[in-house]
Amino acid sequence: MEAALARWGRGESSAFVEIVREHQAMVFSMAYYFLHDRSVAEEIAQDVFLRLYRNLAGIKSPAHLMLWLRKVTSRRCIDEVRRNPARPQVSLEEAPEPFDPSPPSDPLLSRRLRRLVTSLPENARMVIILRFQEELELAEIAEILEIPINTVKSRLQRSLAMLREKLDTVLESAGDEAD
């Protein structure tokens, strides 16, 4: 990726295509897992790469590029939810399941957990996605979201507590139905 950034700096526009190909799956995946709407996730990904095209001269390294892409994608996702709260929401039962190439040990639990993550408030949801989908460290999440690391820790702790509580409720009601 360093080579592509260097080629872009020398004016080779084909380097941008390489950069997009390398990172488009990550950007789309973050947006899709956050919004659960393929068309809106595609729009956000396009907007992120348009912004990257305009700002690529200021990108200094591959690490800076990753940070920049995650930060802009996070902001765009949260802005989209805030800007369009009246957008029709898909019920949790109707939410499409994203493709997961590795088979989960318990598909039913995995599906329920993804639905529960979708029901979290946007800030909590983004922290969960960055931590567990993108597998970022707390310091990286703090840098992307531009919040103190202690705020990341508390959001993550509260988000996990909400998920546990919601999952307990779902599992209890499933157990009641089985009786």
Using the predicted structure, report yes or no on whether residue 30 has a pLDDT greater than 50: yes
Neighbours of 121 (CB within 10 A): 12
Q: What integer pLDDT is reported at residue 84 of this predicted model?
A: 80
pLDDT in tens, 37-96: 999 999 999 999 999 999 998 998 999 999 999 999 999 999 998 888 655 444 444 444
* pLDDT at residue 8 greater than cutoff 80: yes
Cβ-based burial of 103 (10 A; exposed 0-12, middle 13-18, buried ≥19): exposed
- pLDDT for 104-145, tens place per residue? 456 666 777 788 888 899 999 999 999 988 899 999 999 999
Q: Long-range contacts made by residues 98-101, C-beta under 8 angstroms, separation at least 24?
A: 98/32, 98/33, 98/36
pLDDT confidence bin for 12, thresholds 50/70/90: confident
Q: What's the mean pLDDT when you consider all of the chain?
A: 84
Q: Is the pLDDT of residue 172 over 90?
A: no
Q: Tally Cβ neighbours within 10 Å of residue 143.
A: 16
Tell whether the model's pLDDT for residue 27 goes beyond 80. Answer: yes
Question: Is the CB of residue 127 less than 8 Å from the CB of residue 142?
Answer: no
Span between the terminal Cα atoms of the chain, in Å? 57
What pLDDT, on the 0 to 100 scale, is given for residue 86?
Answer: 54
Residue ranges and CATH numbers for the domains of the chain are 1-83 (1.10.1740.10), 104-179 (1.10.10.10)
Q: Give the pLDDT of residue 95.
A: 47
Cβ 146 vs Cβ 75: under 8 Å: no
Provide the pLDDT for residue 4.
Answer: 84
